[in-house]
Every structure is written in structure tokens, then in C-alpha cells.
Amino acid sequence: MTPSDLFDRLKQQAAHAAELEREASIRQGVRKFLRLNLDRILDLKRVVGTWRALADLLANEGLKWGSGASVTGDQLRALVAEIKAAQRRAAKR
């Protein structure tokens, strides 16, 4: 194996680990799930149309608050706005 092959393998493993973290995040918390999957969440929102429909879809997939309550559309909208604002602030630093 060449150093280039090893580096490619390392990049593949890092990408795989990141994907596993995104998939596991649905069971680790609403904020973490949204933060790790923001682009996909926004894509889904465009497809399903409303925050409420997105909340229902995510609830059916198992996304819930620690208390066991489902996330509402209003909560999703607010959290996504909060995450996007935090990302903009971080990008300015």
C-alpha cells in the first residue's frame, strides 16, 4: 500500500464514521440530530412542504425529546433558525 492509498482509506473511514454519527444522532438528541443533518433536514422540508409535516415524518422515524414527546413543527422551525444563526456567527469568526 502506498501512502496515497492509506490516505484515501483514512478519508473513507472518516466519512463512514461521520455518517454513522449522523444516523445515531436521531437517538441522541433533537439538537444534535438537526445540527449534524441540517442540509438534509432543509432538503426534506422543501420536499414535504411544512414544518409540521417534517415533524411528523421525523417522529415516525424516532426523533423525540428526552422526555419522549414528539418534536413539533414550531420547535423544528425555531431550532433550525437557531442552528443556522450559530453557524453564521461561527463563520464570521
pLDDT, one tens digit per residue, over 27-69 is: 668 888 898 889 989 999 999 999 999 999 998 888 888 888 8
Please tell me the distance from the alpha carbon of residue 76 to that of residue 93, in angstroms, as a whole number: 26
Note down the domain range covering 68: 3-92
Please tell me the distance from the alpha carbon of residue 48 to that of residue 59, in angstroms, as a whole number: 14
| Between residues 7 and 50, the one the model is more confident about | 50
pTM given for the model: 0.69
Residue 72 — very low, low, confident or very high, per pLDDT cuts 50/70/90?
Answer: very high
Number of domains in the chain: 1
Query: Within the chain, what is the greatest distance between any pair of CA atoms?
Result: 52
